Amino acid sequence: MQKISRQDLHSLEDYSAMRDEFRAQIIQHKKNRVLQVGPNVTMHFEDRLVMQYQIQEMLRAEKIFESEGIQEELDAYNPMIPDGSNWKVTFMVEFPDPDERAIRLRELLGIDVATYVQVSGHDKVTPICNEDLPRETEEKTSSVHFMRFELTDEMVIDLKNGAALSVGIDHPSYQHAIEALPNSMRDSLVADLD
């Protein structure tokens, strides 16, 4: 999937004029890219369109229009665009109550590497996590992780031929799975693959 360049971005003025329409498009698009796994984990499968929206929103919010600032945003968000053989995920552990969250983040140490995707007929794929910086200590995990799920060529071929896709978390304190993603979500994720 092609990375975003400065030429792909709209000026602040142009973006302001089209923002409502673009936001509505993103909301619809993300319906097939955000997955709730159990009651407290949400996986956001990122792609180029979502990252372009994030960049445009950051430029707008921070009123960034100079080349250096624009490049910093591109450098921050482009790594979250899938490379054709993988999915990139923002993984969020969500407990609204701060006291419960503090307790549960200690109990869920290692939840990121206990997460998997599985193409029917193949082994589970666990993620490469937090390549940007460590997000876990010896005492607790973070509420946000960044993941990359690398697929084999055979998995990609099988997905393109209709194989089912499941997602789950197999952690001693959090075990939840979706045995087969809905076709609309599965098809959206398969579109990321070369």
pLDDT tens, residue by residue, 79-135: 999 999 999 999 999 999 999 999 999 999 999 999 999 999 999 999 999 887 777
pLDDT score at 138: 85
Residues 40 and 130 in one domain: yes
Is residue 54 located within the same domain as residue 118? no
Q: Do residues 41 and 60 share a domain?
A: no
Q: What is the model's pLDDT at position 132? A: 75
Given this model, what pLDDT does residue 55 score? 97
Average of pLDDT values for 24-46?
97
**What is the three-state SS of the chain?**
CCCCCHHHCCCHHHHHHHHHHHHHHHHHHHCCCEEEECCCEEEEEECHHHHHHHHHHHHHHHCCCCHHHHHHHHHHHHHHCCCCCEEEEEEEECCCCHHHHHHHHHHCCCCHHHEEEEECCCCEECCEECCCCCCECCCCECCEEEEEEECCHHHHHHHHCCCCEEEEEEECCEEEEECCCCHHHHHHHHCCCC
Q: Are residues 73 and 153 in the same domain?
A: no
Counting the structural domains of the chain, the total is 2
Q: Are both 54 and 134 inside the same structural domain? A: no
pTM: 0.92
Q: Which residues lie below 8 Å from residue 13, measured CB to CB, with a gap of 6+?
A: none
Domain that holds residue 194: 35-45+85-194
Q: What is the CATH number of the domain that holds 130?
A: 2.60.40
Place of tokens 């709209």: 10
Q: pLDDT by residue (tens digit) across 153-175? A: 999 999 999 999 999 999 999 99
